[in-house]
Structure 1
């Protein structure tokens, strides 16, 4: 059966406009938040200054580690629907060793029992109020749709350690200086995340790993102000911004956080361990 040129022309016109209609519908369909959000820049570092030591107190030695810092510039094109998203930083502790030795008497240690015993692989490092976020000031930004313009913002966070360690054995009434060494080694994973406030949908946008180590040698026989010396490291390893994102463990999103779950133990040279400060949670 032969088809006339007029019929072929009509067929091509119909196909053409159908194709144009499909193209228009694809172009006009708004992108989802998942497809449209973009991270323009991520910066992460640990300050180059060494850990500082403070011997101003006759009761405790204090030290302050350099700060870990992370920031990200984020772009969110117009949000068509009535959606609310929060973008920000979530952090979890993956490993903790924190030992304070007192000569031949024993040592005290801050411990996370479930992490120590391998029951969990990470624990939330939230501020303890705004779960799962590390904080709710510079650390997060909330976008409430619908929006008509691009939304650009920066979210940033910082973290460091500033503990106090008793000169004397923590389970003794005596304040005689016997502290001889401090060792600390902690690892963290920090995620840049977007969470839908209605559904709980979670998008991991960036993953950062970092570690803080220190060794302080102490001579308790020396005068106050001359006892402690930073051995290593003078400069910390710089954080890693991962090429491939990691999933967030469930424990990193919920209570308890590391501060509330940690316990201070006294582990004598001989005898059973003693709980000095129980967990808050």
Structure 2
């Protein structure tokens, strides 16, 4: 993770801790691509990219980040997204010069793998790779550096790359701190997996009910192993609580959050976080303007 921090430093914004009442917010929405995904995507792309280019599947933010990284590295990029991907994310992917491929939501992984094989491109997964996890873990390094006595870190959970990286970094540097994952009630596969002791996948028909479009992925065996070892708990939040948190972040911290990015704040505001000196990870701010207007 320290090596990743050095590698990504020229590209990544070292986001501050922004006070919001009695807690601090880590606003990864301030990254150039609007989310934390640039950390893992750039770290992996630098390590894995080759002249033939890179391909990935994404709900939007990872695809945008990889497209941006590929543009900086001068290699082609193809991003496979599911039908219904927010337009603000799809347009950003194309804006960074990547080829956008839209497929039915249950086919995105297979479609990306097929494209990678057919074109000889390198697959850069959104979370299921050590280089991606290491890049996301740099957030944890920064949190402990800026708030050495942190006691609680709240982090959204989707495929688990972000939570795996942050939990690994925080637990290595401050073992007594609690790292708690947060999921929507309508996409709570990580909580079910950890309680079952194995990866439990939810069908897209279930996870696509949530407004938090970036939190619909299942854990991989790699991220599950990290979370089982290092995450203290997973809590869930409702759709109304996510919307309320988006508005609260805008009004109280002057920060724009997409639904996925607001879930950790939603857990805190709903009283589901442990007591202690708390950092809330705001993972992204690529929100549809109409939706944002509706919540503020």
In which range does the TM-score fall when normalised by the shorter chain?
Answer: under 0.3
More strand by share: 1
TM-score where L is the length of structure 1: 0.20
More helix by share: 2
TM-score where L is the length of structure 2: 0.20
**Per chain length, whose mean CA-contact separation is higher, i.e. which structure has more relative contact order (CA < 8 Å, sep 6+)?**
1
- Greater Rg over alpha carbons, structure: 1
